[in-house]
Amino acid sequence: MNYWLEDLPVLWMACIVFGITFAITGGILILVWTVASGGERLRSFKGVSAAILPPLGIIFGLLTAFIAAQVWNDMDRAATAVNREASALRTVVLLSAAFPGSTEAGIRESIREHIQEAAREEWPMMGRQSSTLTLVPAPIYHTLEMIVALNPTSPGQITAQREMLSALENAMDARRQRIILSHSSVNGVKWTCLLAQAACMLLAIAVVHCDNRGAGAIAAGIFAAGVALSVILIASHDRPFTGQLSVKPGPLLEVVPESLSPDR
């Protein structure tokens, strides 16, 4: 599936997918009707049993369910990773209050910089599937250095330092998860099999109803609409961080109120 299609709003995606699907359906019907115009070919086509349609429909339904389960699972895991990262960073911000003054302000500022960098730079890169795990974000590394360098003077500060380190590690792990998930998508083999199965079903419908063009057009049109809806459903959720229904950085931006950019 072309990435430009998945970047479109769902409404425009639907218009294009429905248009292409019905155009292909019309081409298949015209082809079969043209080939079946001869008497001998028409008799051969009429010999094809309608019993072939249910198995083909079941196979198409199974393929759709299999692929849809994958993309929905990836979307859920991506949303969970973003929420987990936001929760962990929020924990660091809250616990930094145990070290008031410049330490608290420095930790909050580093978290704010990380969130801004993630929203402005990492999210577009994840949408293009070009983000990598080669480097740890500088603000996160700076935060880690500050927490490790703390010199707690009370049991409460000792506990806060330990919990902040644990929460920061959790945030970094969640970030790794969302970047890994940003590279997930339905591969070309699955798309090819799904669309080829749909084409086989449309061809079978046209052949079975070759002697009744009206019934054939109605049956093929109904199935084509179902195919288009299935493609839209999968394509709109294909890449977790791409498109109108993608996972947004909202939970992260809510961690520190001042992390909201002025143009957002």
**How does DSSP assign 181-229, residue by residue?**
HTT----HHHHHHHHHHHHHHHHHHHHHTTT-HHHHHHHHHHHHHHHHH
* Beta-carbon contacts of residue 123 (< 8 Å; ≥ 6 apart): 241, 248, 249
Identify the pLDDT of residue 46: 80
- 113, pLDDT greater than 90: yes
pLDDT in tens, 73-104: 999 999 999 999 999 999 999 999 999 988 89
Q: What is the mean pLDDT of residues 141-165?
A: 92
For residue 258, the model assigns a pLDDT of 55
Q: How far apart are CA 192 and CA 26, in angstroms?
A: 20
Q: What is the Cα–Cα distance from 243 to 35, expressed in whole angstroms?
A: 42
Closest CA to 167 of 79, 227, 254, 94: 94
Answer with the residue of higher pLDDT: 58 or 257: 58
What is the 8-class DSSP label of residue 99? S
DSSP 121: I
Total Cβ atoms within 10 A of residue 63: 18
Closest CA to 239 of 111, 79, 16, 74: 74
For residue 262, pLDDT beyond 50:
no
Average pLDDT over residues 251-264: 63
166-170, 208-212, 235-239: least confident range: 208-212
Comparing 44 with 231, the larger pLDDT belongs to 231
SS3 255: coil
Going by pLDDT thresholds of 50, 70 and 90, the confidence category of residue 257 is: low
The pLDDT of residue 2 is 56
| Closest by CA position to 71, among listed 197, 223, 231, 229 | 231
Contacts of 219 (CB under 8 A, 6+ apart): 205, 209
pLDDT at residue 260 greater than cutoff 60: no
pLDDT for res 259:
41
User: C-alpha angle with apex 258: 254 to 262, nearest 5 degrees?
Assistant: 100
The whole-number pLDDT of residue 264 equals 37
Query: Which residue has better confidence, 47 or 53?
Result: 53
Query: What per-residue confidence (pLDDT) applies to 24?
Result: 96
Closest CA to 140 of 153, 124, 158, 122: 122
Residue 202 backbone class (left: φ over 0; alpha: ψ -120 to 50; beta: rest): alpha
Give 216: exposed, middle or buried? Use CB within 10 Å, 0-12, 13-18, 19+.
Answer: buried
pLDDT at 263 over 80: no
Given a cut of 90, whether residue 192 has pLDDT beyond it is yes
CA-to-CA distance for 41 and 138, rounded, in angstroms? 71
Q: Which residue has the tokens 């500088």?
A: 138
